[in-house]
Amino acid sequence: MDKKPVIKVRGLYKIYRVGTNKVYALNGVSFDIYKGEFVAIVGTSGSGKSTLLNMLAGLEPPTKGEISIGGKRVDKMNERQLVSFRRDNVGFIFQSYNLLNTMNGIENVAMPLMFKGVSKSVREKKAEKYLKLMGVADQAKHMPNQMSGGQQQRIGIARAMVVDPKIIFADEPTGNLDSKTTMDVLSLMQKVVREQGKTLVMVTHDNTIAGYADKRIRIVDGKIVSIEYSERGTEIEGEETEKEEISISLGGNPGENSPEKN
Amino acid sequence: MKFSDLLRLSINNLKRRKLRTFLTVLGVIIGTASIVVMVSLGIGQAALQTESIESYASLTTIDVWQGSTMGDGSSEEQNYITDDVLKTFERIPHVTGTSPVLRTNVIAKQGVYEANLQLQGVSNEYLEQIEVGEGRLPLDEKKLEFLYGNTVIRDFMNSKTGDGYYSTGEEADVDLMGKAVFIIFDTSAYYQSQMPQSASQGSDAGQSSTKPPKKYIVPTAGIVKGSPDEWNQYSYSTYCNVDALKSQLKAIYRKEPIPGQPTDKKGKPLDYFVYDNASVYVDDMDNVKAVQDTIASMGFQANSNMEWVEQNKKTMQIQQAVLGGIGAVSLLVAAIGIANTMMMSIYERTKEIGVMKVLGCDMRNIRDMFLIESGFIGLMGGTAGITISYLVSFIINKLYIRNQIMNGYIMAGADTPGNISRIPVWLIIMALIFAVAIGMLAGFFPSRRAMKLSPLSAIRNE
């Protein structure tokens, strides 16, 4: 693989102080994630997988180490830069959906565009497109409390995609769903990666769910114990070529060269 | 983020907790209404006082008197008020006119009644400020006519018994308008002619040493508006045109010095008239002080009712500040209410704020959202508070007027006095701005807190 990684992590540490003890939430983690990959970060609770995701998304600063996303050093950004970085590059899918209860489906999807200052008519048109893609166009005018968990999470995925981000982070996206809906949502996420050429990083504790990803980064006690690539998922293999074709667009990223300099 | 979107988000949040929003707004309503009503009472009271001063004295008139110490005895050139001086007064900016006041005491007689009148010769400009009840103003410069003050009739006494209104309580049977009034200008000659008679009362042998002075019939032009028991600044004097009076006095005294007028070293009368005082009219109340100072710097004594009004204003301002302060306390309490509501709201929405931050909402936008929310509470409370204060003000005024009528200060059906509570436009605008500012100020610290909330709280699953 001579492609440049979208996410490059080198020697990442996160150390919490509990009294006089040092707790290593992350203990020297290094890995690369390439464009168009569906990556699962797998680990038991307390393994540091959520901490890793938070740091990738710039929600938590690392104690030590280097995180580059699309060639930009996330660990060096201040809070304001991080906000605009997230706004332009990152989509988020939450375990508990985190839809705003005061807004209906379409408004929730359009919300990240609102933060960008896109006008109402433009953003709702775009939101509608993603609602259709996720198969929840009929929920556009419903409030979140009128929807099922699966519907809410589809809205959540649409919301993550509406800004056309380079990377989508998903924190236990199926954690609150029953097994059937879990499968629906997972196949939707696969579809996003395959058809939209997105890079998706998912955190989960469940090996079965992690099996739907192309690549699994296993974390135990803040260390990567293995990185596995998927061999079995037939539906994944069959679409591999298509995935490669879509992934060209990243080449134009202006910050692409900076990882070499660092 | 667009402002319209921010506004919509904020309003949605306020709608979400209707009761809480309402209660918080209620606090602001009470606060704003109490400030507005309190200040309106202060303003009303001050205005009432100014109006009552205005009703018996003009506020744009300056009374000028001779400078008392100017000559200091060393120079015979006294600081007299003459026609030339008046002309210089007229050249002072903002002065619209002047009037000399030539005072002389005359005796008026009708039948057995006689009165000592204080006659004031004034210009037509002066006369035109007087409201006439009966008849008209004596504006003719050639013909001497009198305008009697409305309480002058009480000065007439029965010359036989010496009884007048002030001893018997009965007004003399004098008809100033209908019957001829005889006027004696040379009062000293008159008293001299009366002397022996009064010295040896009852004796027939009395013979006057001096010839009684000539009596003149002076036609009555009119009477000042008002009944004999209504007092005002024109009620107690008798007025006539100054030029007509001057020619009359010259005709009477010829070469003799006119009483009250100064003479030169040789005891000869001056060839011009010296006035006791003068009135200077100013175009606006606000310019009175400046003109007054100019006149004073020219060596004259200048008085105006503005000094009185100014004094009053100072007292009233203190009173207004105290009243406003009382009102402000309740708005302060309302501000604490707003701050509390905003804090509650932020705790409740911690997760939501976190989600917004994770999804890329600018921190400043989050702060602005909360500021708009609290400002909106202020705006709603302010608007409703002003509406309510209009209502309260209306009720206070109604009660005040009824109370005045009941206590007999004013007669029912008569001109209603001014309102005790007045709400000028500036007060409305200030109150609205103040309410919004208080709201935003109260929301400032909570909004900063919201801004600084960690986005991690959104990720945490409870």
Chain A residues with CB within 8 Å of chain B CB: 50, 53-54, 57, 59-60, 79-80, 83-84, 86-88, 90, 92, 94-96, 98, 100, 102-103, 111-112, 114-117, 119-120, 159, 163, 171-172, 175
Interface contact flag, B461 A103, Cβ < 8 Å: no
Q: Is the residue at B116 inside a domain?
A: yes
Domain housing B217: 101-274
Percent of chain A clearing pLDDT 70 (strictly above): 87
Q: What distance lies between CA B309 and its chain's CA centroid?
A: 6
Inter-chain touch A159–B359, beta carbons under 8 Å: yes
pLDDT band of residue B461 (cuts 50, 70, 90) is low
- Contact: A103, B12; criterion CB under 8 Å: yes
Phi and psi at residue A166, to the nearest 5°: -75, -35
Say yes or no: B11 contacts chain A, CB-CB below 8 A: no
User: Which residues of A fall within a CB distance of 8 Å from B353?
Assistant: none
In the predicted structure, residue A244 carries a pLDDT above the cut 60:
no
Q: Does B459 touch chain A (CB under 8 A)?
A: yes
**B456·A114 Cβ contact <8 A:** no
pLDDT winner (highest mean) among A80-84, B177-181, B303-307, B383-387: B383-387
pLDDT class of A249 with cuts at 50, 70, 90: very low
pLDDT given for residue B78 in this prediction? 61
| B359 at interface of A, judged by CB pairs closer than 8 A | yes
Shared domain for B42 and B147, answered yes or no, is no
> Within this chain, do residues B262 and B127 fall inside the same structural domain, yes or no?
yes
* pLDDT number for residue B230: 77
Mean pLDDT of chain B: 83
Q: Do B327 and B423 reside in the same domain of the chain?
A: yes
Domain boundary residue among B226, B254, B274? B274
Residue A157 has pLDDT above 50, yes or no: yes
Inter-chain contact A79–B363, Cβ cutoff 8 Å? yes
Residue B116 and residue B32 share a domain: no
Query: What value does the mean pLDDT take over residues B136-149?
Result: 86
Work out the minimum CA distance from B377 to partner chain A, whole angstroms: 19
pLDDT of residue A158: 93
Subunit contact B355:A50, Cβ cutoff 8 A: no
Is B356's Cβ below 8 Å from some Cβ in A? yes
Distance between B329 CA and the closest CA of chain A, angstroms: 35
Residue A234 pLDDT class (50, 70, 90 cuts): very low
Return the number of CB contacts < 8 Å for A and B: 74
Q: What is the pLDDT of residues B200-243, one digit of tens each?
A: 444 444 444 556 788 888 888 888 888 887 777 788 889 999 88
Q: Chain B contacts of A79, Cβ < 8 Å?
A: 363
Closest residue in A to B452 (Cα–Cα) = A79
Q: Would you say residue B79 lies in a domain? A: no
Same domain, yes or no: B326 and B247: no
What domains are defined for chain A? 7-261 (3.40.50.300)
End position of a domain, from candidates B256, B274, B292: B274
Same domain? For B49 and B119 the reply is no
pLDDT at A231: 58
Q: What is the pLDDT of residue B417?
A: 63
| Residue B47 belongs to a domain | yes
pLDDT band for A170, please (50, 70, 90 cuts). Answer: very high
Q: Is the pLDDT of residue B316 over 80?
A: yes
* pLDDT given for residue B68 in this prediction: 56
To the nearest whole Å, the CA of A98 is away from the closest chain B CA by: 7
Give the one of B357, B359, B458 whose C-beta lies nearest to A111's C-beta.
B359
Domain boundary among B245, B274, B303: B274
In a domain, B281, yes or no: no
What does the alpha-carbon distance between residue B102 and residue B260 come to, in Å, rounded to a whole number? 10
Phi, psi of B213 (to 5 degrees): -70, 165
* The pLDDT of residue B311: 82
Among B16, B362, B458, beta carbon nearest to A115: B362
**What is the number of structural domains in chain B?**
2
For residue A77, the distance in angstroms to the closest alpha carbon of chain B comes to: 14
DSSP B263: B
Contact criterion met (CB below 8 Å) for B358 and B445: no
Any A CB within 8 A of B350 CB: no
Enter the tokens of residue A246: 């879509």
- At residue B226, the pLDDT reads 81
In a domain, B76, yes or no: no
For residues B117 and B253, state if they share a domain.
yes
Q: Where is average pLDDT lowest: B161-165, B392-396, B456-460?
A: B456-460
Same domain membership, residue B340 and residue B241: no
B93 found inside a domain: no
Q: Does B1 touch chain A (CB under 8 A)?
A: yes
Q: Is it the case that residue B61 has pLDDT exceeding 80? A: yes
The per-residue pLDDT for range B78-107, each reduced to its tens digit, is 678 888 888 888 888 888 888 888 888 888
Nearest to A59 among B12, B358, B365 (CB): B358
Q: How far is A104 from chain B (nearest CA, A)?
A: 12
What pLDDT is recorded for position B51? 78
